[in-house]
Amino acid sequence: MTTSTATTVVHSIYINAPAQRVWDAITRSEYTTQWGYGGAVEFDLRPGGAFRNLSTPEMREMGMGETAVEGEVLELDPPRLLVLAWRPMWQPDPPTTRVTWVLTEYPNGQTKVVLTHDVSAAPEQFAEFNGGGDPQGGGGGWPWSLSGLKTLLETGRSMDA
């Protein structure tokens, strides 16, 4: 299910994996290199800790710097909640937006993932983050990334494989 306003992107998805495994896939490079845009991550998992989502070699060939996204951990409750101040470094003078991951594990081992991206600091980026572009051209946004996360955790393969 997808809902949206001009300043908030919200996507929900169910993944057949426990919350801890989903959490690990969001916060550990051994997973992040296999879903979404494929970059490794660096997390200092504590409030106030820094995080970076690194660019892939292909991104750097297109002119992007070493870091695709950088920010700060605002709040966390592993494996249920991760709130990030999030800055897209591919943009000049990148705005800081807020990304919230909420993971709810059910007794059957499935996890509901709700991703909320508050883009009120950069409403012009709404369409891009909401999936308004071509995934092959780098514009699949959160729907494409979440689909890759689900594919990886349920099949063990990258969506691009």
Q: Can you name the CATH fold of 2-36+76-155?
A: Alpha-D-Glucose-1,6-Bisphosphate; Chain A, domain 4 (3.30.530)
The predicted pLDDT at position 91 comes to 77
Q: Pull the structure tokens for residue 42.
A: 């660096």
The bridge status of strand 111-118 relative to strand 50-54 is unpaired
Distance CA 82, CA 10 (A): 15
Residue 127 pLDDT > 90: no
DSSP 3-state assignment of 7? Answer: coil
Starting at the edge strand found earlier in the chain, the sheet holding 8-15 runs: 2-4, 8-15, 111-118, 97-105, 81-88, 67-77, 50-54, 41-43
Q: What is the pLDDT of residues 56-114, one digit of tens each?
A: 998 889 888 899 899 999 999 999 999 999 998 877 888 898 999 999 999 999 999 99
Angle at which helices 141-155 and 19-27 pack, to 10 degrees? 120
| pLDDT band of 123, cuts 50, 70, 90 | low
Q: Are 53 and 41 in contact (CB under 8 A)?
A: yes
Its pTM surpasses 0.85: yes
The predicted pLDDT at position 2 comes to 53
Q: How many CB atoms lie within 10 A of CB 119?
A: 24
